[in-house]
Structure 1
Amino acid sequence: MISSFFDYHSPYIFHAYSIAHLIQIAILIILSFLMFKLRFAIQRNASAKRTIRYVIIGILIMSEISLNLWYVSQGVWSIQTSLPLELCSITLLLAIMMLLTKSRLLYSIVFFAGITGALQAVLTPSLDYTYPHFRFLQFFIAHIGIILSALYMSWIENYRPTWKSIGIALIFLNVLAIIVGFINYVIGSNYMFLMHKPLTPSILDWLGPHPYYLLSEQGIALLFFTLLHLLFFVLPSWWKQYSLKNTSKAKSYL
């Protein structure tokens, strides 16, 4: 059982939207809902805030360390596939630094690039193993952790991105793509899927052939970043002001 749990050649094959996959999506929804629902209680409790922050940090650190230990133990660590140069690996490391330093610049990047990339990974995983394999558990723990780190800073620490933050995140992604693209060219890798699409189904399948899907990603990123900003901050703020205005009017009639 233990050997099959870690075995690189495990028979546990991942199937998108299987029961195991849907459970992970449900876990993300439930944890996000609980954090939102309990946000005011957590904000009032300094110990709870600190505990949640460090638990998320610990989860992110251990997920990255355990992944590399697994690569080494299975004899599959490779410079072409195992460096932390995938978008979610990079945003995971940035999320750790964001939580440790409470940097608003890193928050702008992790909120937009982190949530968008990790949510895509949760919904359309580039994954070979299903439950109960180690890689399945590590994959979803890491990506859910990235999303929760951004939600924590938003709902518990009351950080707010601006429209300028979207530009910062887009500039970051383009600079990162240039750097990682150069590394791919030098070492023959495909980090961030800059050289070709993943072998498993993903949103990239809808964006045209290489290299045109790289251009399409610019528009998709801008669209998703804008939707995130609208759904999480602009519309709730508008609704709050609208409700207060109507409440004031109602009171004036009494």
Structure 2
Amino acid sequence: MFSVTGMQGFELFSMAHMGTLVVFFAACCILVYFRNKRKIYQQIIKWTLFILLPACEISSHLWLILTNQWEVGDLPLQLCSLSTFLAMYLFLKKNEKVFYLFYFIGTLPPFLAMVTPEMVYTFPHFRFIEYFLHHSLLPLAVLYFIFYEGYSIPRKAILFCFVTVNIIAVPIYILNQLIGTNFFYLASPTEAKTILTFFGSGIMYYINLEIAALIVFGITYIPIGVLQRIENKKARDTLGKELS
């Protein structure tokens, strides 16, 4: 389960892979179901996410260190790690702009990482469990903040987050060049075959990254935009009934 060489041979859309995605969607449904239940459920969900997110991040590094695999490229500077830090901050302190960023990089990107994972280990290897649990927890945390903490997203947040991510990407790109890493996948696509594999190379790779980021942010906004429209309509209808 913790071996470096054992339990390899991950297959895309295998039974284990599809089963993991089904469990993730079931967890999303459960989270939404309990949104109007007793306050105790909110606290249980909050502290479960609060504990599991850093536990995944820390245990991943511990496994790499204990198996003599840790390298400078394993520093917690990928989008997944950044999303984890943002979530931890939001659990401790309410901040709308931080949530905007967390929403756009912590919803669809982790899900896409689960659909086309950079993974070689099969279930129930530790790396398999940690990877999918970690990437599942991020969208679940997003749902928690929306349904339990009442966060919302204005349409202008799309541009705000796109610009913010590009600002963050500048020092990350420079760091990649200096120490030979691939944080944010700004140096090259993933080693495994994922969506990034089809982005080309050179300048086209970065152009496609920018286009993909805008598309992903736009698609990510659609669900919460629809949800907010429905909630606003309900509020107007309720107000209209009270005034009539």
Q: TM-score, normalised by structure 1?
A: 0.87
2:24 to 25, 28, 32: 28
> What's the C-alpha RMSD, in Å, of the aligned pairs?
2.2
1:203 corresponds to 2:217? no
Aligned length: 240
Q: How far off is 1:221 after superposition?
A: 1.8
Could you tell me how far apart the structure 1 residues matched to 2:7 and 2:27 are?
30
Could you tell me how far apart the structure 1 residues matched to 2:86 and 2:66 are?
26
Partner of 1:58: 51
Preserved contact between residue 12 and residue 131 of structure 1 (Cα < 8 Å): no
- State the AA in 1 paired with 2:173: G
Could you tell me how far apart the structure 2 residues matched to 1:242 and 1:142 are?
35
Partner of 1:227: 219
Partner of 2:36: 40
Could you tell me how far apart the structure 2 residues matched to 1:239 and 1:108 are?
19
Preserved contact between residue 197 and residue 210 of structure 1 (Cα < 8 Å): no
5+ residue gaps, structure 2, are: none
User: Identity of counterpart residues, as a percentage?
Assistant: 26
Give the SS at the match of 2:53: helix
Preserved contact between residue 152 and residue 228 of structure 2 (Cα < 8 Å): no
Deviations 1:86-115 (A, max 9, x none): 111111121111122132222111111111
- State the AA in 1 paired with 2:120: D
Could you tell me how far apart the structure 2 residues matched to 1:114 and 1:123 are?
15
Partner of 2:173: 181
Could you tell me how far apart the structure 1 residues matched to 2:224 and 2:43 are?
23
Q: How far off is 1:122 after superposition?
A: 0.8
Q: How far off is 1:196 after superposition?
A: 1.1
5+ residue gaps, structure 1, are: none
Could you tell me how far apart the structure 2 residues matched to 1:195 and 1:119 are?
22
- State the AA in 2 paired with 1:47: I
Preserved contact between residue 152 and residue 224 of structure 2 (Cα < 8 Å): no
Matches within 5 A, 1:53-92: 53-79=46-72, 81-92=73-84
Partner of 1:136: 128
Give the SS at the match of 1:52: helix
2:42 to 49, 52, 76: 49
Could you tell me how far apart the structure 2 residues matched to 1:76 and 1:70 are?
8
Q: TM-score, normalised by structure 2?
A: 0.90
Preserved contact between residue 67 and residue 138 of structure 1 (Cα < 8 Å): yes
Partner of 1:125: 117
